[in-house]
Structure 1
Amino acid sequence: MTMTTNEQPHVLILGGGFGGLWATRALASAPVRITLVDRTNHHLFQPLLYQVATAGLSAPDIAAPLRHILRGQKNVIVRMDEALAIDLAAREVTLAEGRIGYDYLLVATGAAHAYFGRDEWAEHAPGLKTLDDALAIRARVLSAFEAAEREDDPARREALMNFVVIGGGPTGVELAGTLAEIARHTLPREFRRADVRNARVHLVEAGPRVLATMPPELSEKTRAQLLRLGVEVHTGAPVTQIDAEGVSMGERRIASRTVLWAAGVAASPLGRQLGVVTDRAGRVPVAPDLSLPEHPEVFVVGDLASVQQDGKPVPGVAPAAKQMGAHVAGVIRDRLRGLPGKPFRYRDYGNLATIGRMAAVVDFGRLRFSGILAWWFWLVAHLFFLIGFRNRIIVLVNWGWSYWTYQRHARIIVRGGDPQARSTRAA
């Protein structure tokens, strides 16, 4: 089925993440018809996804149905479907369940995991981008502790309680710090045979320091805090092999049954269908107003867009995607009035990352701080940007409970959630 325009211009938005959703909402009063397509039915607050993976929060705490978010916006139709191909000449997108035409197209399909040409590593080192990923990682982590409890062989038990996180960016740091807290504070009184306090958490980074996008002094404070938590930090250690038995970094070998990938991303493959040469990560170079140079009716935002500003790339973070989405909405409004679109300008509000209980780092350019004050700032900022009053209240209650008790209420292993977890149970 092909949908064609009739009265108002049709804006087709692919992706219900930060870029796509912010564009949709910014067009609420515009004289356009909007179709928002996403292969899931929800908007996901990705900055807290690692807390679902480590059993601190449940999936609904950081996600909300797109239809519910947009229930009061009359000019939008939400369609749960998957975009497969884009025909620029025909102004048409092929979906898994039909075809759909557009007058304006916004591609905001984000990014996936990148294994630097070693895609076979994905089986042994899952990444963290979706709720399915988070639930699979949770099952893998918790199943490793369960298997260690019933394991008699000391070497096998040690491998089961070795956790390796590859990638020293914010996601890797947050995962490693939280895993260490689980082993040291959450689980010790609940296991009888395995001393889970002996669990070792390794954070592996190929570069010279963790949180490389932050100033060196904050990177060093992060490393020191991770060491205090019991995380073993390996920098300047590119991974050369990952298999079912562990990780190799040159001649160094870590035996582990639980390896998590937080080292790299690649843009959505839809970018390669837009008729331009993408960069090495698959990102699409765009005009100053975020449109395609040869197709001004097509826009690309978020992790899929390659945008340069002041000689530096705009980072692939949630605030940038939100700003891009809102900017494209403004350009479309201008076009409808016969005005040229303004160039995009990214406003950097700083970087922040949490390292563990009562510890975080914040970089606001000239203003940089860490420790408990940064942790409180991180907490308030994430609560503020969560979508929905219910989500904010539930997350606040769960965080308060975890803070006072060290407990994580979402420690449920969903059978079938992760093949590695299933094989561990069967071993």
Structure 2
Amino acid sequence: MSQPRPHVVIVGAGFGGLSAAKELAHAPVDVTIIDRQNHHLFQPLLYQVATAALTPAEIAVPIREVLRRQSNARVVMDRVSDVDHAACEVICDSGQRMAYDTLILATGARHSYFGNDAWAEHAPGLKTLDDAFRLREKILTAFEQAEILAETDPQAARAYQSFVVIGAGPTGVEMAGAIAELASSLMRDFRRIDPKDNRVILLEGGPRVLPSFTKSLSMRAAQDLRDLGVEVRLNTMVTGIEGDHVMAGDDRINARTCVWAAGVQASRAGDWLDLGSGHVTVDETLRPEGFDNVYVIGDTARFAPGDTPLPGIAPVAKQMGQFVGQRIAAHANGTAPPTQFRYHDAGALATIGRNRAVADIFGLKVKGFIGWLLWGAAHVYFLIGFKNRLFVVLHWLWSYITWRRGVRLIMHRE
């Protein structure tokens, strides 16, 4: 009687989880990937769904479609609530207990409000399609409300035309630029709104935007934002957020829409392993201390070669997934596995708006239109599926030529 094949359970179908699964396509193992959603989401472009530039179908693809040709993989749509590492079982909300020989935790990150969780109600973050839907509805509804109030209550209208983005990392910078461009493109469709009342305020607690970029690129990004009309406020700490205003220090900003892009925290994977909340520290093989058959990758992991933790970005997660998949495949095939994860940093990119981006690719600093083209090419490359790539390029081309955004539907929830 043949021995059962090793069972690899992957929790999370982001870049890390899917990369690991694909790496195991020809290995003599059975793979189960568990995710609470049925789709893989390209989060770097999620802000474009929130600002009516792209549709959800262009940045998301069903997990089953991605793995449909991988005969040793199956997909389970469920939410993992705990891990019984003594029994080597994953526990799901449905009550299912799934045994594993090797476990890969690629559960990503969630928003962090630094102890002010009450702010989440008024300052949503952007991690899921539902977040993007709600934010898009909020932004578009704000302009509709401003149109109603423009003549009867101009002050209230101005609050609806004011948008605050908190945090000037890549997500915050891209969101602020996209809202500014959206506001500008919408003005031709409204009759009473005064375009001069449109405000986009970007708040950053540190001394510059894009702090992970070089100083020259950071300064260029800040100038590009100002050229778009974004008010960039540095060294500014948020002290309060309500439904109709944001407190930036002692300054009250009347704004009906606020977006949180200031911080993230790891998922609950550390609690599942009794390692405490927060990021899980892993060694050079991407395993936590004391866990020979558990790997933690992507935003959930803290891997710090040279005492500097790797950033929570898609290329890091993808390379981690590939490394772990190669290790597991090598063990299953009886060959020597790779012994040390090394991240190959190709650089960083951020777009500010039309023809505006900054890029640091293999040490080459690029700005402006060329940087914008590089940013677009890189994001199209990382999208999964030819159809998604084609539709995104066509949608961007249409928007570039017409200066219009095509996904401006408000879906009211009853």
TM-based fold match above 0.5: yes
1:232-282 superposed Cα distances (whole Å, 9 cap, x missing partner)? 00110010100112110111110011000000001001222213255xxx1
**What displacement does 1:197 show?**
4.7
Partner of 1:419: none
Preserved CA contact (<8 Å) 2:208 2:234: yes
Pairing of 1:185-204 with structure 2 (within 5 A): 186-204=185-203
Q: Does 1:46 align with 2:26?
A: no
SS in 2 for 1:259: strand
In the superposition, the TM-score normalised over structure 2's length comes to 0.97
Preserved CA contact (<8 Å) 1:145 1:196: no
Preserved CA contact (<8 Å) 1:9 1:33: yes
Distance in 2 between the 1:211 and 1:26 partners? Answer: 33
**What displacement does 1:289 show?**
0.3
1:342-381 superposed Cα distances (whole Å, 9 cap, x missing partner)? 1111111100000000010001353111000000111111
1:365-411 superposed Cα distances (whole Å, 9 cap, x missing partner)? 53111000000111111111111010011101100011011111111
Preserved CA contact (<8 Å) 2:347 2:363: no
SS in 1 for 2:76: strand
Residue 18 (structure 2) aligned to one of 6, 11, 21: 21
CA RMSD of aligned residues (A): 1.3
Please, which runs of 5 or more residues in structure 1 have no aligned partner?
A: 417-421, 423-427
Partner of 1:182: 182
Q: Does 1:414 align with 2:411?
A: yes
Preserved CA contact (<8 Å) 1:187 1:196: no
Q: Does 1:136 align with 2:134?
A: yes
Q: Does 1:396 align with 2:357?
A: no
**What displacement does 1:288 show?**
1.0
Partner of 1:166: 166
Q: Does 1:105 align with 2:98?
A: no
**What displacement does 1:39 show?**
0.4
Residue 319 (structure 2) aligned to one of 301, 323, 327: 323
Q: What is the one-letter code of the residue matched to 1:160?
A: Y
Distance in 2 between the 1:178 and 1:28 partners? Answer: 39
Q: What is the one-letter code of the residue matched to 1:25?
A: K
Q: What is the one-letter code of the residue matched to 1:33?
A: D
Q: What is the one-letter code of the residue matched to 1:241?
A: G
Residue 367 (structure 1) aligned to one of 364, 367, 372: 364
Preserved CA contact (<8 Å) 1:113 1:264: yes
Please, which runs of 5 or more residues in structure 2 have no aligned partner?
A: none
Partner of 2:87: 90
Distance in 1 between the 2:90 and 2:301 partners? Answer: 19
Percent identity over the alignment is: 50
Partner of 1:425: none
Distance in 1 between the 2:63 and 2:265 partners? Answer: 25
Q: What is the one-letter code of the residue matched to 1:131?
A: L
Distance in 2 between the 1:315 and 1:405 partners? Answer: 36
**What displacement does 1:310 show?**
2.2
Partner of 2:291: 295
Residue 53 (structure 2) aligned to one of 50, 53, 56: 56
SS in 1 for 2:293: strand
Partner of 1:273: 272
Preserved CA contact (<8 Å) 1:361 1:369: yes
Pairing of 1:226-245 with structure 2 (within 5 A): 226-245=225-244
**What displacement does 1:311 show?**
2.4
Distance in 1 between the 2:336 and 2:204 partners? Answer: 48
Partner of 1:255: 254
Q: What is the one-letter code of the residue matched to 1:198?
A: D
Preserved CA contact (<8 Å) 1:172 1:203: yes
Preserved CA contact (<8 Å) 2:11 2:105: yes
Distance in 2 between the 1:341 and 1:62 partners? Answer: 32
**What displacement does 1:154 show?**
1.1
Preserved CA contact (<8 Å) 1:161 1:198: yes
